[in-house]
Each structure stands twice: as C-alpha cells, then as structure tokens.
Structure 1
Amino acid sequence: MAGWIWRTAIGLAAIIAAGVASAQTFPAKAVHIFVPYPPGGGVDVLTRTLADVVSKNWGQSIVVENRPGAGGVIASQAIATAAPDGYTLIMVASGHATNPFLYPKLPYDTFTDFSPISLLASSPNVLLVRSDSPFKTVADIITAAKTKPGGLSYGHAGNGTSTHLAGALLNSLARIDLNAIPYKGGAPAINDLLGGQIPMSFNNGPESVGQLQAGTVRALAVTTATRAPFLPNVPSMSETVPDYDTEVWWGLLGPGGMPADLVAKISGDFVAALNTDAVKERLGKLGAIPIGSAPAAFVAKIRADYDKWEPIIKAAGMKAE
C-alpha cells in the first residue's frame, strides 16, 4: 500500500513538473490558431493582427487556419479533441456561448472541453438604415413596428449570430415583432439594405465602419449599454430601450485540461500584444474594443452569455441554418 502511494505521489509530481516545464519552454515549435470563420472578417483580422505581434515575441511561427462551418462547431470540435499542450488554439466569437441552444447535439461540452485563455476584444453591433431612410431614431423603428406587427424586417448575418440576437433582444424588451431576415454574413445584409430590399440591418462594428465613413448608411444605435468610442455621436440602444445591452466578443480558447501555468503564459503574452499601440490603433479603426481579460473572467463571460441568451433563443425558436 505504501509503495502504491509513493508511486502515485511520484506520478503526480511528474505531471506537475511537466506542466511547469511546458510553460517554461513553450513554444518550441509553431503554434496553430483556428479561426472558425472565412478570411477577412472581424475574428480573422483580430487573430492575424495579434498573431503577428505574439509570434515575433515568441520567436516561433503562429499559423492561422480558417476552418469555417456550422457556426464555429467544426473548428471547435477539432480543438476539443486536440492535445492540451498549447500548440493548437482557437479564436472564438460570442456564438461559442450560444451554440448549445442552436445545435442540440454538439460534439463537445462548451465548458469542460475547453480551456479559456483570454477574452480579448469586443464590439457593439450597430443598427443601420440607409442614409435616405425615413427612420431617424430607434423610437421611430419601435413606433412603426407597433403600428404594423411583423411588417418591418431587419437583416442579420445568419441564424443565431450576434446580429440575429440583437434583433431578438429588441423584440423582447420593446415588445415588438420585427421580422428577422437571415443572410450568409453581414456583407450580403448590407448589400440588400443598400438595394432597398430591407429597411434596416444589424451589423457588427468592423462591417459597419466603412459604410458609415462612405455615407451610404446611417447608424441609429449601437447595441452596448453605453456609447461606443469609435461612434461617440451614435446613441446606445439603452437610451431608448432600458436594460438593452449586447455585443459581439472574441476570445482565445485551448483544449480542455491545459496546465494552469501554460494558460497563464499564453494569456499574458496575448494580453501584452493587445496593449501595444499598433494593435490598439488597428482595432480602433475596425470598431473593436480591446479587453484582455484573465482566464477566470473569460469563463465568467461565457457562462453569463450562456445564461442570458438561453430563454431568448428558446422563446424566439431559433435554430441553426
């Protein structure tokens, strides 16, 4: 019995030592970061911007791999089954917290199969209308929607996306019935908005900035509780609809079971890169707000969104496309 206890103690010590060693020597080779969306979007730009800085500091390559499909489920499944050694990571968006309600048979557990590393940035979604729209305020939208329930539509980037949820939250809190029109991404929604096929759309910050600068669209509100730094003259939705607050966020995850010290190292290195002037400037131009949280705070954010959106998604009857 004593021998078994001794051997167990030695084994545990070896595991702990291996974890310490992994953080001290990491990375010894290229690190791969999966992006579960196509190139060019907000998640992709954020990942590549940070990867460029971190790879130089590490002296090792960071390979960014776009693996789109099923709202991020395909890439997330690959991470959930990867070795927890820090060499395979994923940059997820806020949909990671809501996918369990959109895909009833996920091939992984949203919490236990991942190691949260850092909540890195967020952006409000923006309620857009054409520059010549008769709607000047959110109150105008609400009045029109109550006059003709179900007769007013909004475009969004796809079922269950943050822009879809933004409209669902407005329906819930303002007690209206906007008709949600799904698109395969935010850009097609803007195209139909410009073409007059829909009267308004919810789009994330990075998608909205260029169109706003061009003057082709007008922003009625941002979806966060307070005004956005990159659109200081645009009201927050909560100024008209109390308690309204939603956003899209991006964060770094690894496979479940990563050693705590390794998680801490990767988190610290990415947060340091996030705080460089060059990265802040790039994100600011995209309408993204740097955060750089500790791992525990990222866990709390995922859980909070999971709890917040479950009743809203179920009440709206949302399902993945």
Structure 2
Amino acid sequence: MISKRSFLCSTASAGLALVTGGLVAPARAEAQFPSHAVKWVVPYTAGGATDVLSRLICQYLSDKLGQAFVVENKPGAGSTIGTQAVISSPPDGYTLLLTSTANAINASFDPTLTFDFAKSIAPVAGVARIPLVLVVNNELPAHSIAEFIAYAKANPGKLSIASSGIGTSLHLSGELFKAMAGIAFTHVPYRGSAPGLTDVMSGQIQGMFDNVTSSFELVRAGKLRALGVTTRDRSEILPDVPPIADTLPGYETTSFYGVGAPRDTPRDVIDLLNKEINAALADPAIKRRIAELGAIPITGNASEFGAMLAGETERWRKVVELSGTKKE
C-alpha cells in the first residue's frame, strides 16, 4: 500500500520532471538560433553572380547550422522591393538581405525611398566585391584607356556607352569616368547587362562598363576588347587588363555584396551569422568558386562591414551628385 503522503510526493516529483523536461527544455531549444528555416532574400531575379554567391553560402550555412537557409528572389525597383520586405520583417535573424551596391546608391539616387537604409538594416557580414571592366566593340580604334579618351575627344557625339539601367553601378561608373576624363558620350540604358553586351558586340553601341563576372568570357573569346578594370589592382581573371586608375589616378568603383538583417536583430545572432559567413568564405571550395567569378571576398566582423557600407554610401553619393542624375 502506498501512503497518501508518498503518493503526493511522487506526483509532485513527476510534475517537476514534466516542467524541467517538457517545458524548460523546449524553451532552451527555441532560444537556440537557428531553430527553423532562415530566409535569405536576394532582391534580384534568379541567375547571375548574386544567385551563385547566395546559394554557395546558404548551402554552407544549412550544412553547418542544421537548418535550411533558403534563397528567395524578390526583384524589382532597383532592389527596393526586396530590401523593403526584409526591413519590414521581425528582427529575429530569420530574414536576411543580400545587400549590394544598389543599396548604397539608392540612398542618394532615389528620393522616393520610404526608408533610411543605414538606419533600417543591421550590417551582418560582407560577401564579395566584383570589379567592373570597360569593354568595347572590336572595331573601335582604341586599344587602351588613353586611346579611348583621345578618340572620344576627337570624335564628339560618336560614342554610345551601354549600362544595365539608370542609377546602377554600371551607369554611374561610366558617369564618373566621363567626368574624370573630361569627355562626352551618350548613355544608353538597357534592362540588364546581357542585351547591352550583345549590342556592343554587334557594333550598335561602342562600349560598356560591366561586371567582370558577365563579360570576362566574352573578352577571353575575343568577342569584346577590354580596356581597363575599375579596381586599383588587376583582376585575377583578366590579368592582362590594367586598372583605369593607371591612366586616371583616383578612379575606382566596384560592385559589392554583403548580408544585412532588420534593425534590432539580437547581437548574438548577428555575431553567429558573421562568424559562419566568414567561415564559408574561407572554405576552399567556396573560395575557388568565388575566384572563378572574378570576385574578391569581403571578410571581417559586422562592425567592419557596417563601416564599409557607410563608406560606399558616401562614395556613391558623390558620384550621384557628380552625374546630376536622380530617379524620377
């Protein structure tokens, strides 16, 4: 026979076990990040360097952290639609943004923005920089930056330069070049890089500033001529192409990508993501694939990436002012 006292004690002990094993343990598991899938928003259409970089890192994070990191493409309005979607998400680390040069440019280029990017997004980690390159039609009688500038000055009104759209890094890199070189040309915006490159190859357009990722194979195949890269150093996938800065000292632009989260995302979550993204960038297979794209990894802590974002935003503000171009 079990006494009433023994029964009550046993029942209390069992209840305590339920609390500690059934309620507290799940609470601890819920507090551990990540406890479910993480959404990685790419504010561009699928395909291209943004998708390749995102999927490489998301696969690494999924394997390392034991939860799915899922790429979700939200294109439109020069990256604004995807950016707004992340800004409006809960600040819990489960919605991330692939930040880019477009965010730095739009801060001054787009007066219609309903948010302050610098105040709305918490910097998490850098991903990569991609140099741009000035490519021209093979029939253009210019084989260097100096010759291109001389040709432009001797043939006013004859040069047309393509871009992937007004207000893009490709467009504004051309505007900066034009101002620093003291030349004039007609800007022709396209919906993306590919149609612009096609018209440069055909001769309808004489040249284009483009990411090396989408143009280096055309250069290697002899379908386009590369005159100069926009970085201070040569690109590893176009080692024979000198920097534009060799002719125009101080000239420098790049496309960059990184990761951001909604403001007020917990610091421990940001630090964990930063640590693992940096580990991904150090992974030999990922490093090799990034190099194949002509990209340069951006490593460092979240604060360093935040400082880089601020610097890029100021850099592009000056270029936007120089170009005199704003979104209408």
Instruction: Say whether the fold is shared (TM-score over 0.5).
Output: yes
The structural deviation recorded for 1:170 is: 0.5
Partner in structure 1 of residue 182 of structure 2: 175
Measure, in 1, the Cα distance between the counterparts of 2:291 and 2:83: 28
**One-letter amino acid of the counterpart of residue 180, structure 1:** H
8 Å CA contact 2:172, 2:323 repeated in 1: no
Q: 1:24 to 1:227 in 2, by over 3 A?
A: farther
Q: Deviations over 1:60-112 (max 9, x none)?
A: 11110111001100011111111111000010211111102222021211111
* Matching of residue 155 in structure 1 with residue 168 in structure 2: no
8 Å CA contact 1:34, 1:89 repeated in 2: yes
Measure, in 1, the Cα distance between the counterparts of 2:167 and 2:74: 19
* Correspondences of 1:11-90 after superposition (within 5 Å): 25-90=32-97
8 Å CA contact 2:176, 2:322 repeated in 1: no
Matched-pair identity in %: 38
8 Å CA contact 2:145, 2:244 repeated in 1: yes
Match 1:237 to one of 216, 241, 244:
244
Partner in structure 2 of residue 269 of structure 1: 276
Partner in structure 1 of residue 296 of structure 2: 289
Measure, in 2, the Cα distance between the counterparts of 1:293 and 1:164: 29
Measure, in 2, the Cα distance between the counterparts of 1:133 and 1:49: 38
**One-letter amino acid of the counterpart of residue 294, structure 1:** N
Using the size of structure 2 for normalisation, the TM-score is 0.88
Using the size of structure 1 for normalisation, the TM-score is 0.90
Partner in structure 1 of residue 254 of structure 2: 247
Secondary structure of 2:47's counterpart equals coil
* Correspondences of 1:198-237 after superposition (within 5 Å): 198-237=205-244
Measure, in 1, the Cα distance between the counterparts of 2:280 and 2:129: 16
* Matching of residue 136 in structure 1 with residue 143 in structure 2: yes
**One-letter amino acid of the counterpart of residue 79, structure 2:** G
Q: Deviations over 1:3-56 (max 9, x none)?
A: xxxxxxxxxxxxxxxxxx799711100000110111112111110111111111
Partner in structure 2 of residue 9 of structure 1: none
8 Å CA contact 1:121, 1:251 repeated in 2: yes
**One-letter amino acid of the counterpart of residue 136, structure 1:** H
* Correspondences of 1:292-307 after superposition (within 5 Å): 292-307=299-314
The structural deviation recorded for 1:212 is: 2.1
Q: Deviations over 1:180-219 (max 9, x none)?
A: 1111111111011111110111110210122123221121
Partner in structure 1 of residue 127 of structure 2: 120
Partner in structure 1 of residue 6 of structure 2: none
Measure, in 2, the Cα distance between the counterparts of 1:215 and 1:285: 19
Structure 2, unaligned runs of 5 or more? 1-27
**One-letter amino acid of the counterpart of residue 293, structure 2:** L
4+ residue segments displaced more than 4 Å = 21-24
8 Å CA contact 1:43, 1:93 repeated in 2: no
**One-letter amino acid of the counterpart of residue 188, structure 1:** P
Measure, in 1, the Cα distance between the counterparts of 2:49 and 2:197: 16
8 Å CA contact 1:118, 1:295 repeated in 2: yes
Measure, in 1, the Cα distance between the counterparts of 2:122 and 2:81: 17
The structural deviation recorded for 1:315 is: 3.2
Secondary structure of 2:292's counterpart equals helix
Measure, in 1, the Cα distance between the counterparts of 2:318 and 2:285: 40
Q: Which moved more, 1:129-138 or 1:217-226?
A: 129-138
**One-letter amino acid of the counterpart of residue 255, structure 1:** P
Q: Deviations over 1:246-271 (max 9, x none)?
A: 10000100001111121111011111
Measure, in 1, the Cα distance between the counterparts of 2:101 and 2:322: 19
Measure, in 1, the Cα distance between the counterparts of 2:181 and 2:152: 10
Partner in structure 2 of residue 7 of structure 1: none
Match 1:107 to one of 111, 114, 133:
114
Measure, in 1, the Cα distance between the counterparts of 2:29 and 2:196: 45
Structure 1, unaligned runs of 5 or more? 1-20
Q: Deviations over 1:92-148 (max 9, x none)?
A: 211111102222021211111101111210011011113343210111111122223
Measure, in 2, the Cα distance between the counterparts of 1:275 and 1:150: 48
Measure, in 1, the Cα distance between the counterparts of 2:154 and 2:219: 29
Aligned residues: 301
Q: 1:183 to 1:257 in 2, by over 3 A?
A: same
The structural deviation recorded for 1:151 is: 3.1
8 Å CA contact 1:209, 1:286 repeated in 2: no
Secondary structure of 1:111's counterpart equals helix
